[in-house]
């Protein structure tokens, strides 16, 4: 039952793309590619639901041999465990909703069918990556999603910015992919296989490595993680993701928030059993640094999609941090909750952009009537404060103008404000997602997943008594506070306060049903509805890490762990979660303890505090305006500049790496022009002037001479022999007779 | 009469035939020589059949009959060719028919 279901999940989107491709060859197109692709995704979603029931705690693999080269066999197959099943569900669900959303959002686009075909191809690739049981299959899916990302970022390739962004995304992720490929090859040379599971799989073989190989294994793990750094936009390869926002917003939601960028986290989680202390620490640090760097950049952005993009980068850093500190379940749990609420935020921002965009396009007349009705009922919140009339960001400084001009007006939060009356559904759903990502306690899924990671970090820190992990915990906590701050900044700037651009505001309107329904569904998913899957210790079993040793083996004994966290926690089934969590790295001394370490309590209290602080500050800055963002920015000018320039990563890459490459290219071009061409030309001249004379002489005299002599001899001999042919028939007869007589004599003699 | 007698007669006929074929300048004479050769062969067939095989096996003599019929057909074709040659070249001497000579 499992194999047909997985095959169906994979084949439906592939078929939807193939129909587009094959008809495209015949210069036709299916009339409703959108319905076709959406239906394919929905079938995949239903199959994923069915599959969820099939999954048993023991993972299954279904493998076939693919290529045999001598003694080496590459296999291809499915690996199904609870994590795969949940990932399949998340991908198909988000993809289905994004498809439905796109029907409204992309309406009227000249390349409308192509968009859906690409979405289908992407869904297929992503699902293939998820179910693959070997590194080769994962790599194939990995590159395919990269291709789809390239195609969809550059979907509006008429825009130079989009064309550049898709190239940037492709090339930047390629840097990481090279590392990943080297890592794969390291594993391959060692183990002679790319299969991960089973007797001859990498994990089984790696478990039996001795300590002498640990350096080697760490390097391989870090190199494979490089692929994840590129794909999941971790520092220092994160710069492509914000630029990828040039693509259509549904693409940003599906590929650059919910699924593809999470593939890096998924890969790292899959590689969990071969991570060593060193590689784990590298992953945790990269994740922690990414979380805080991206969060701080997000504070000062004005493009609504860029804020969300940096937020995505930051949250991906969180997940990596979770995996890096051994909180396998927490990392993947955050992946799923993040997929839902971040997709919701992106689709919500898409809805806002659509509302503004329709004004420019004049293509959506059907929705305009609605917009005008709303206008009259709208009342301005005049009592806000006295500073509202003046956009503090505008007058801020010239940097804003230098960079602000790049932001399309319909994505610029400085043009928004007061939209909550115009777009109530979008507002409420986005508010729910924001509460979720900010970590507002207990009723939102984001709180649980973020807390699981924070708790995991702190627990590891206390267990190992390691400075690194305390530091990481501090970073994660700070990032959590900043996240709450900038997310509410987005909400306040977009939906509250006074409309800043009255003309655009007048035209804004709620989006059509096909766009609001996915928002509502995703809003429901931002509540902790999937938690019970993750928090069921029998369902999700974290793999063991045979090469991970605690420095002092200073385990907190189960007795010292406090019991219970109040009914609020058990209400949501968290207690088992933490148990499952600990089962992952507590070396299984005792399998049945149910307590928590105090780490999780401390982490929870602290995370609630920082989230509350972030929201409060945001409220003071951007709603009450009792604090001025401008004056704070002025007093921390260097820091502000650092954030505004995104830590100068792009400047560094442009100024150093790109310039270096161009300089190198020029150097090689000069070398090519002078040395290589010089050699080639010199050899040419030598050949023509010197060698050719000799060869010509030889040809004329020797070769031609032989040929002519042969011809002359043939001519002369022929002239003589010709005489034999007298034409007199009796001569011939005589010769025949003589011959016969001769033969008779010869045979007589014998 | 023994086999030798027949063979001697046959050899004489054959030699005469060869001689005629090689020396005559007239195509008709050459044809006559060929006929002599053929008939010497027929005589051999008949003679060997009579003396060397059991009396009930007459295949050699049947071959001789075939040979005679063949000779008749061959003579007809030969004469037709000679007629055509005469019309073309105005002569029936083989030496005059030499347009294929290189």
Q: Say whether pLDDT at A370 is over 80.
A: no
User: A718, A724, A730: best mutation site toward chain B, by most B Cβ within 10 Å?
Assistant: A730
Q: pLDDT, tens digit, for every residue of A422-475? A: 888 899 999 999 999 988 887 888 888 888 899 888 888 888 888 888 899 999
User: What is the structure's pLDDT at A749?
Assistant: 86
For residue A28 the two structure tokens come to 């036709």
Q: How confident is the model at residue A182 (pLDDT cuts 50, 70, 90)?
A: very high
Q: How confident is the model at residue A593 (pLDDT cuts 50, 70, 90)?
A: very low
* B94 min Cα distance to partner chain A (Å): 7
Q: pLDDT, tens digit, for every residue of A616-644? A: 888 888 888 777 778 888 888 888 888 88
Hey, is the C-beta of A70 within 8 angstroms of any chain B C-beta?
no
For residue A728, the chain B residues in CB contact (below 8 A) are 94-95, 98
Closest residue of chain A to B34, computed from CA coordinates: A733
As a whole number of Å, the end-to-end CA separation of chain B is 52
* Lowest model confidence (mean pLDDT) among A72-81, A181-190, A573-582: A573-582
User: What is the structure's pLDDT at B75?
Assistant: 92
Predicted ipTM beyond 0.85: no
Hey, is the C-beta of B95 within 8 angstroms of any chain A C-beta?
yes
Closest residue of chain B to A721, computed from CA coordinates: B102
Q: pLDDT, tens digit, for every residue of A378-404? A: 333 333 333 333 333 333 333 333 344
Hey, is the C-beta of A730 within 8 angstroms of any chain B C-beta?
yes
Neighbours of A682 (CB within 10 A): 10
The conformational region for residue A465 under phi > 0 = left, psi -120 to 50 = alpha, else beta, is left
Span B3-96: which CATH code? 1.10.287.3510
Neighbours of B37 (CB within 10 A): 18
The whole-number average pLDDT for the span A245-256 is: 90
Q: Which positions ≥6 away from A78 have C-beta within 8 Å?
A: A2, A3, A6, A60, A61, A62, A63, A131, A132, A133
Q: Say whether pLDDT at A408 is over 90.
A: no
**What are the b/e assignments for A531-550, b being 16+ CB within 10 Å?**
bebbbbbebbbbbbbebbeb
User: A718, A722, A728, A739: best mutation site toward chain B, by most B Cβ within 10 Å?
Assistant: A728
Q: Do A734 and B22 touch (CB under 8 A)?
A: yes
Q: pLDDT, tens digit, for every residue of A10-33? A: 999 999 999 888 888 888 777 788
Q: Say whether pLDDT at A602 is over 80.
A: yes
Q: Where are the domains of chain B?
A: 3-96
Q: Mean of the per-residue pLDDT values for chain A?
A: 81
For residue B97, the chain A residues in CB contact (below 8 A) are 729
Q: Do A737 and B102 touch (CB under 8 A)?
A: no
For residue B98, the chain A residues in CB contact (below 8 A) are 727-728
Q: Say whether pLDDT at B73 is over 80.
A: yes
pTM of the model: 0.71
Q: How many A×B Cβ pairs under 8 Å?
A: 25
d(CA A364, CA A355): 10
Q: How confident is the model at residue A733 (pLDDT cuts 50, 70, 90)?
A: confident
Q: pLDDT, tens digit, for every residue of A124-180? A: 999 999 999 889 999 999 999 999 999 999 999 988 889 999 999 999 999 999 999
d(CA A270, CA B65): 100
Closest residue of chain A to B15, computed from CA coordinates: A737
Q: pLDDT, tens digit, for every residue of A261-298? A: 999 999 999 898 888 888 899 999 999 999 999 999 99
Q: pLDDT, tens digit, for every residue of A500-516? A: 777 777 777 788 888 88
Hey, is the C-beta of B92 within 8 angstroms of any chain A C-beta?
no
Q: Do B94 and A728 touch (CB under 8 A)?
A: yes
């Amino acid at each position: 039952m499992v194999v047909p279901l997985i095959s169906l999940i994979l084949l439906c989107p592939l078929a939807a793309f193939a129909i587009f491709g094959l008809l495209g060859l015949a210069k036709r197109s299916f009339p409703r590619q959108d319905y076709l692709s959406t239906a394919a995704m929905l079938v995949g979603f239903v199959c994923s639901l069915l599959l969820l029931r099939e999954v048993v705690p023991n993972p299954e693999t279904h493998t076939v041999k693919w290529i045999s080269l001598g003694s080496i066999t590459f296999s291809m197959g499915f690996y199904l465990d609870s994590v795969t099943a949940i990932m399949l569900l998340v991908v198909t669900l988000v993809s289905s909703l994004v498809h439905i959303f796109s029907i409204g959002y992309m309406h009227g686009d000249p390349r409308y069918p192509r968009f859906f075909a690409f979405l289908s191809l992407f869904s297929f690739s992503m699902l293939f990556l998820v179910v693959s049981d070997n590194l080769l299959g994962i790599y194939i899916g990995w590159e395919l999603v990269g291709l789809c990302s390239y195609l969809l970022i550059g979907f509006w390739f008429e825009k130079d910015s989009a064309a550049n962004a898709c190239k940037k995304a492709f090339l930047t992720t390629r840097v990481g992919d090279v590392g990943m490929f080297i890592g794969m090859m390291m594993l391959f040379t060692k183990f002679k296989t790319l299969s991960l599971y089973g007797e001859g799989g990498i994990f089984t073989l790696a478990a039996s490595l001795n300590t002498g190989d640990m350096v080697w294994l760490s390097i391989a793990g870090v190199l494979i993680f490089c692929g994840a750094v590129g794909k999941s936009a971790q520092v220092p390869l994160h710069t492509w993701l914000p630029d990828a926002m040039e693509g259509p917003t549904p693409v940003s939601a599906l590929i650059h928030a919910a699924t593809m960028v999470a593939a890096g986290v998924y890969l790292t989680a899959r590689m969990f059993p071969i991570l060593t202390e060193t590689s784990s620490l590298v992953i945790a640090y990269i994740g922690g640094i990414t979380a805080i760097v991206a969060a701080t950049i997000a504070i000062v952005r004005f493009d609504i999609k860029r804020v969300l993009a940096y937020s995505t980068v930051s949250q991906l850093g969180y997940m990596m941090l979770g995996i890096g500190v051994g909180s396998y379940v927490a990392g993947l749990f955050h992946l799923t909750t993040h997929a839902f609420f971040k997709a919701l935020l992106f689709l919500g921002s898409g809805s806002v952009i659509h509302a503004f965009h329709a004004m420019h396009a004049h293509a959506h007349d059907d929705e305009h009537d609605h917009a005008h009705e709303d206008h009259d009922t709208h009342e301005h919140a005049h009592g806000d404060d006295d500073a509202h009339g003046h956009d503090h960001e505008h007058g801020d400084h010239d940097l804003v103008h230098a960079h602000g001009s790049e932001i399309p007006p319909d994505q610029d939060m400085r043009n928004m404000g007061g939209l909550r009356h115009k777009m109530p559904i979008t507002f409420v759903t986005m508010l729910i997602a924001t509460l979720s990502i900010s970590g507002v306690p207990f009723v939102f899924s984001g709180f649980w997943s973020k807390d699981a990671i924070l708790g995991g970090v702190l627990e590891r820190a206390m267990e190992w008594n390691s400075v690194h992990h305390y530091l990481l915990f501090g970073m994660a906590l700070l990032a959590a506070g900043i996240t709450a701050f900038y997310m509410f900044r987005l909400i306040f700037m977009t939906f509250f306060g006074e409309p800043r651009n009255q003309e655009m505001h007048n035209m804004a309107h709620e989006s059509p049903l096909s766009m609001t329904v996915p928002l509502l569904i995703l809003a429901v998913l931002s509540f902790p509805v999937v938690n019970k899957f993750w928090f069921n210790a029998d369902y999700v079993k974290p793999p063991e890490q045979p090469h991970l040793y605690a420095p002092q083996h200073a385990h907190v004994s189960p007795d010292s762990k406090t019991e219970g966290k109040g009914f609020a926690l058990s209400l949501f089934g968290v207690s088992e979660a933490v148990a499952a969590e600990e089962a992952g790295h507590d070396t299984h001394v005792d399998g049945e303890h149910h307590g928590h370490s105090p780490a999780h309590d401390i982490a929870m209290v602290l995370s609630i505090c920082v989230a509350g602080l972030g929201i409060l500050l945001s409220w003071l800055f951007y709603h009450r305006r009792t604090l001025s963002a401008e004056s704070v920015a002025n007093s921390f000018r260097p820091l502000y500049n650092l954030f505004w320039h995104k830590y100068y990563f792009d400047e560094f890459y442009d100024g150093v790496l790109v310039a270096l490459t161009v300089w190198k290219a020029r150097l090689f071009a000069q070398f090519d022009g002078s040395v290589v061409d010089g050699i080639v030309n010199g050899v040419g001249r030598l050949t023509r002037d010197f060698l050719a004379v000799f060869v010509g002489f030889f040809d004329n005299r020797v070769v031609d001479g032989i040929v002519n002599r042969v011809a002359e001899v043939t001519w002369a001999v022929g002239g003589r022999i010709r005489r034999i042919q007298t034409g007199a028939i009796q001569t011939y007869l005589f010769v025949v007779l003589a011959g016969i007589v001769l033969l008779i004599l010869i045979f007589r003699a014998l | 009469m023994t086999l030798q007698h027949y063979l001697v007669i046959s050899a004489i006929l054959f030699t005469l035939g060869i001689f005629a074929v090689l020396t005559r300048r007239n195509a008709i004479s050459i044809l006559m020589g060929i006929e002599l050769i053929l008939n010497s062969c027929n005589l051999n067939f008949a003679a060997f059949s009579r003396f060397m095989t059991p009396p009930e096996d007459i295949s050699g003599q049947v071959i001789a009959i075939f040979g005679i019929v063949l000779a008749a057909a061959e003579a007809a074709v030969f004469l037709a060719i000679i007629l055509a040659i005469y019309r073309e070249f105005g002569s029936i001497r083989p030496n005059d028919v030499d347009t294929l000579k290189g």
